[in-house]
Amino acid sequence: MVPTITLNDKTQIPQLGFGTYLIPPEQTADIVGQALQVGYRHVDTAQMYGNEEGVGRAIAASGIPREELYVTSKLANDKHRPDDVRRSFDETMARLGLERLDLFLMHWPLPTLYDGDYVSTWKAITDLVADGRLRTAGVSNFQPDHLDRIVAETGVVPAVNQIEAHPYFTNDTAREASRRHGVAVEAWSPLGQGAVLNDAKIAEIAADHGRSASQIVLRWHIQRGDIVFPKSMRRERMAENFALFDFSLTPQEVDAISSLDKGERGRVGPNPDTFDYLPD
């Protein structure tokens, strides 16, 4: 039974979902279909993953009622101009085959591009909610000053901030800034893309619980209150990563895992202050 988290716009999001980064487009319908069979009801995709259409096909083929599913996508880095936000959102909806999207995020703030203007991009995303085709608007990879700025300049607080977080990069600075604004945190690369799974301390806690390292790390995220969507192409790992709600870590175990933080050195992804990738 996956718990839900109530966001600041009063909507609910399942705390555990399925990530789709690097799932090849031609395999996505099959892989996401398997994840839905395993029991996942929340899927995280993005325009830049190139696999929204496969996600849409898996949803259509599953026969699962739309209201039981939670679907997130994210704005591509080359679509920050307000007109492009609207146009690309329409394209996302066509690829997903949905009438309404649950959550749409600005994928990166890109403070060194577009003359540093991610505020008009944020405004355009929030306008999609007013249009009725988007339920919830959020951001991703927003550092504290990026959050402070969009809130100060638009008065609209994002519902979520999706940021890198895992035991080697706990990212408490961005987490605390998000919490201060009432923004729920989604932890991307919750397993550090596999980097944390061979850690000796995590192995010890896993042995004590008779669980896998992956389950221990994901449970740590859940007990920290963050939303997670691990990715795996293998069904047995999808099932393993879904079985998190019949055990719990002690507060001491949670603290021991948090103390594995390596700060900036622990990042597996780019720093949002300087990241300026544009798709071809």
Residue 191 binds ligand NAD, judged by CB under 6 A: yes
Residues 6+ apart with CB under 8 A from 145: none
Examine the residue annotation and report whether 70 is marked as an active-site residue of this protein: no
x/- mask, ligand NAD, residues 147-176, rule CB under 6 A, reads: ---------------x--------------
What is the footprint of ligand NAD within residues 51-110 (CB under 6 A)?
107
Size of the site for ligand NAD (CB under 6 A): 26
Q: Which helix (H) or strand (E) holds 120?
A: helix 119-131
Residue 214 binds ligand NAD, judged by CB under 6 A: yes
State the DSSP code for 181. T
Find the shortest distance in angstroms from Cβ 68 to ligand NAD: 20
**CA distance linking residue 194 with residue 190, whole number of Å:** 9
Smaller CB separation from ligand NAD, 64 or 197: 197
Q: Which of 40, 49, 70, 118 is catalytic?
A: 49
Residue 141 binds ligand NAD, judged by CB under 6 A: yes
Q: What share of the chain is helix, strand, coil (3-state, %, to 5)?
A: 50, 15, 35
Q: What are phi and psi of 140, to 5 degrees?
A: -145, 145
Stretch near ligand NAD under the rule CB under 6 A, chosen from 14-22, 84-92, 123-131, 152-160: 14-22
**CA distance linking residue 16 with residue 4, whole number of Å:** 8
Q: Which helix (H) or strand (E) holds 34?
A: helix 25-38
Catalytic machinery residues: 49
Binding site for ligand NAD (CB under 6 A): 19-21, 44, 107, 140-141, 162, 188-194, 197, 212, 214, 229-232, 237, 240-241, 269
